[in-house]
Amino acid sequence: MSGRPEQLFPLFAGLETLEGVGPKTAQLLGHLDVETPRDLLFTLPYGVVDRRRRDTIRGADLPATLTVEITVGAHRPPRGRGGAYRIFVEDAQTDFQLVFFHARGDYLKKVLPEGARRVVSGKVELFDGMANMVHPDHILPVAEAAEIPEFEPVYPLTQGLTQKIAYKAVQSALARLPDLPEWSDPALVRREAWPDWGTAVRSAHGPHGLDDVAMTAPARVRLAYDELFAHQLTLALARRRERKARGISSVATGKLQSRVLSSLPYRPTDAQARAIEEIAADMAAPARMNRLLQGDVGAGKTLVAFMALLVAVEAGGQGVMMAPTEILARQHLEGLQPLAEEAGVVLELLTGRDKGAERQAKLDALGRGDIQILVGTHAVFQPDVAFYDLRLAIIDEQHRFGVRQRMELAEKGVGADVLVMTATPIPRSLALAQYGDMDVSVLDEKPPGRKPIRTAIVSTQRLDEVIDHLRKAIAEGRQCYWVCPLVDESEVSDLIAAEERFKRLRAVLGEGIVGLVHGQMPPADKDSAMAGFQSGQTKVLVATTVIEVGVNVPNATIMVIERAEIFGLAQLHQLRGRVGRGEAQSTCLLMYQPPLTEGGRRRLEVLRETEDGFRIAETDLEMRGAGDLIGTAQSGLPRFRIADLERQAALMALAQTDARALLAADPALDGARGKAARMLLWLMKQDQAIRLISVG
């Protein structure tokens, strides 16, 4: 796979090699992220103008864009400064005016000499009973009128770029389309009645009506699919490399698992049972597991994770569970401790706090295999941490962990299986785009016994009532979170907002009852503020969003979120999930500052209606779009030019199946379709994939 195939050279040449594109136009196209003819071909028109020629404008439904042949009549220059320059013209049946502002008369006399025949095309409107065409888009001698396309595609532009220039440049790029082999599954192409790639590009740029610029037009679906397929092929190559890394087969005996299951006061949900089964099967297989466990708040991920760790122990090895922060690591330890006691396994914690002799003792025990399950922070990555026989690594909260860390951790145990847990429900299409290299298990049922959380929407004008409500709850021994908004990106003002609220609540509720935690605090202060709340010493915790991940205080039954309308839906759902963890009925108060926008109201209502994180995430995706949802820059989510993740989720799933099937049938991509797929990867600039093939 030495370098880009020669057939593609013309598509990757400089823009200035295109007709009518000079340095200035090339620079303007750069603002649209168009750097080569290939990028231009993937910039599809979003509209189409019907410029078919008619005999007359008479009988047309105005205003409309019309194209007619006319005879030029009298010119009437403007009377005063800034007036309109008018030219009377007539077509086969009626007369109308061409109108120009800021016009140069001598230029117009040259282009439209009196008595000449011309073809004009532009928007015609009625003005004072007279039909006017203001600034025609096209004015051509009859002999050259064929230059006006019958249907003119409308392209996204930037200041200084005209439709004419864009159209001409695209036509010039289309002239160099190479004839490429078919990389998609022929059966799929037949079933969907898709055109081949070249035909699809030509017809996407030659729409004959609005249907042809819709996302559902076959040519567009085909091109979107090519984009998704290239992306999924890249992920499938990465997945294969991961799995090829020889794994270890860890076969469960079920002995320890059954002890834990029989001690539980309830039966696992079907979703939990299914996930445990999928994980155990992956761990028993010789290839390395790379699985994502996706579960909503309170869907019982801890039990599933622990069962997976027990598979490792039953098979004679060790497991490690990693959390992004010390607080969360301790919390996992607390959650797993009772289960570990039932199973009779040794569980230990390793964080950055372990120092000196105590740390060394833990490391020795780990190296001897005396510690069977380790819970830790990224301190586990340090070079002197060596396991006796690491079989499984579980990583909590994916978004803090990129592919690189997944690999680093896997190096610790040669071929250790990897399970990533996330509490953020992600719509299926995004999960496929982001974690397409992984296999996914979903927990979409709640274990019995969790009471629904009452959610209310309140205006900030009722702040005093809310504080009264708190006072009563505290008197009954309850605790409360009070989340302050991230007002703007500067952390200083967030801090001020949180401190102001803290002071006001402290003044009303009394000293020592209210704690404060925010992003600017030294970690030790943050930990002690959290600890004070966890132990029940402080009753109200005022916080910026630092508390969204994972803290567990069963006695906290009220969650107040200020300016809820400026938070994302997924984030509100995560925050709400911090309450409702104990026996008592919990409440979440979403406080908004009126007036609410239509979108803001709809978002808050969705939360009031449902606690289903997946439904909430789907709504969020519909309302905000994929880029906003995970902040494209940091998510590693690809930017697609044609495909639309929100509305083409099914296409993404199809692309994943197809990509995995192709690799299974032709691992080296040496067959006819494999070679075509390599061409696609070059065309889609999937350089990473190309490297994976050359080393793979």
Q: Any idea where the domains of the chain sit in the sequence? A: 52-148, 215-450+647-665, 454-610
- Protein fold of 215-450+647-665: Rossmann fold (3.40.50)
For 287, which DSSP code?
A: B
- What one-character-per-residue DSSP string does 626-656 give? HHHHHTHHHHTPPPPSS--TTT-HHHHHHHH
> Highest mean pLDDT range out of 219-223, 383-387, 436-440, 612-616?
219-223
- pLDDT number for residue 602: 86
Return the ∠ at Cα 32 (arms to 645 and 171), rounded to 5°. 95
Task: Give the residue among 373, 374, 398 at the shortest CA–CA distance from 301.
Answer: 398
Contact 11, 41 (CB under 8 A): yes
Return the ∠ at Cα 161 (arms to 157 and 165), rounded to 5°. 105
- What one-character-per-residue DSSP string does 525-551 give? HHHHHHHHHHTTSSSEEEESGGGTTT-
Q: Residue 414 — very low, low, confident or very high, per pLDDT cuts 50/70/90?
A: low
Q: Is the model's pLDDT at 517 over the cut of 90?
A: no
Give the residue ranges of DSSP H helices in 205-325.
Answer: 210-213, 218-244, 255-263, 270-284, 301-314
Instruction: Answer with the residue of higher pLDDT: 668 or 407.
Output: 668
Strand partners, 31: none
- pLDDT number for residue 634: 36
> Quick one: average pLDDT of 571-594?
87
Q: What is the pLDDT of residues 20-47, one digit of tens each?
A: 899 999 999 998 889 999 999 999 999 9
What is the domain class of 454-610 according to CATH?
alpha beta
Average pLDDT in the chain: 86
- pLDDT number for residue 132: 95
Q: Are strands 95-101 and 151-154 parallel, antiparallel or unpaired?
A: unpaired
Lowest pLDDT segment from 140-149, 412-421, 649-658: 412-421
52-148 and 215-450+647-665 share one CATH topology? Answer: no
- pLDDT number for residue 679: 94
Query: What is the Cα Rg of the chain in Å?
Result: 32
Contact 621, 427 (CB under 8 A): yes
Contact 343, 366 (CB under 8 A): no
Q: Residue 6 — very low, low, confident or very high, per pLDDT cuts 50/70/90?
A: very high
- pLDDT number for residue 481: 93
Strand partners, 581: none
pTM above 0.75, yes or no: no
Residue 671 zone, left/alpha/beta (φ > 0; ψ -120 to 50; rest): beta
Contact 566, 506 (CB under 8 A): no
- pLDDT number for residue 425: 75
Q: Residue 410 — very low, low, confident or very high, per pLDDT cuts 50/70/90?
A: low
Q: What is the pLDDT of residues 216-267, one digit of tens each?
A: 999 999 999 999 999 999 888 887 776 666 678 899 999 999 999 999 888 8
> Quick one: average pLDDT of 584-589?
91
CB atoms inside a 10 Å sphere around CB 114? 12
d(CA 129, CA 94): 13
Q: Is the model's pLDDT at 669 over the cut of 50?
A: yes
| Secondary-structure percent of the chain, ordered helix, strand, coil, rounded to 5 | 45, 20, 35
d(CA 522, CA 445): 38
- pLDDT number for residue 694: 63
Instruction: Answer with the residue of higher pLDDT: 2 or 135.
Output: 135
- pLDDT number for residue 632: 37
Structure tokens at 319: 């497991």
- pLDDT number for residue 435: 74
Q: Is the model's pLDDT at 550 over the cut of 60?
A: no
Q: What is the pLDDT of residues 275-324, one digit of tens each?
A: 999 999 999 998 888 898 988 777 788 899 999 999 999 999 999 998 88
Q: Is the model's pLDDT at 464 over the cut of 60?
A: yes
Q: Is the model's pLDDT at 548 over the cut of 50?
A: no
> Quick one: average pLDDT of 94-103?
92
Q: Are strands 514-517 and 556-561 parallel, antiparallel or unpaired?
A: unpaired
d(CA 643, CA 625): 13
Q: Is the model's pLDDT at 578 over the cut of 70?
A: yes
- pLDDT number for residue 1: 47
| Helices 687-695/672-683 angle, 10° precision | 140
Per CATH, the homologous superfamily of domain 52-148 is: Nucleic acid-binding proteins (2.40.50.140)
Task: List CB contacts of 496: < 8 A, sequence separation 6 or more.
Answer: none
Contact 328, 396 (CB under 8 A): yes
Q: What is the pLDDT of residues 624-660, one digit of tens each?
A: 654 444 433 334 456 788 988 777 878 988 999 999 9
- pLDDT number for residue 551: 67
> Quick one: average pLDDT of 155-170?
89
- pLDDT number for residue 411: 61
Q: Is the model's pLDDT at 73 over the cut of 90?
A: yes
- pLDDT number for residue 488: 55
Q: Residue 603 — very low, low, confident or very high, per pLDDT cuts 50/70/90?
A: confident
What are the distances in angstroms from CA 424 to CA 294, 439, 549? Answer: 7, 16, 10
